Amino acid sequence: MARRTFLSFCYKDDHWRVQQVKNMGVVEEQPLLSANKWEEIEDQGDAAIEQWIEDNMKGKSCLIVLIGERTAKRKWVKYEITKAFNDGKGVLGVYIHNLKDSDGNQATKGQNPFDAFKSGDEPLSKWAKVYNPPYTTSSNVYDYIKDNLADWVEKAIELRS
């Protein structure tokens, strides 16, 4: 049975790449919102966004941050990392910048979003491993993520146990 996970990412930049990961069918995740639906929630303010995150993170055992070029700078990605960690969920990151977008373009590798976090005196990286597929060809990156994501999720959950 696939683990239930929450995907955290930069919607504007990486929705197409995230959809590829979702289509792998390796983990079970929250529904991805259309741009219009996300804007509806966003227009209701921060409390509505926090409630959407709360509702969709409920019952999930792991947060997967799908890291693109600007993911680490996104306010809601930071919020989701903090919430998942504080809730005792497994936390991990996967670089997706080398997956092609809808126009066939790859992106520049972004910063590790966990670099800014600590748990007490410990860096969050002690519990939040980040995986960077060792390929530049999109199809190889896709296969690498598909072949390993379930194991990475299990390791992230074990680290928090």
138-148 pLDDT, tens digit each: 999 999 999 99
Long-range pairs for 132-136: beta carbons < 8 A, 24 or more residues apart: 132/95, 133/94, 133/95, 133/98, 135/98, 136/98, 136/106
Q: Where are the domains of the chain?
A: 5-159
Residue 69 has pLDDT above 80, yes or no: yes
Residues paired with residue 122 on neighbouring β-strands, in sequence order: 119
SS3 at position 40: helix
CA 80, CA 66: separation in Å to the nearest integer?
Answer: 12
Phi, psi (deg, nearest 5) at residue 151: -65, -40
Q: What's the fold here for domain 5-159? A: Rossmann fold (3.40.50)
pTM (2 d.p.): 0.93
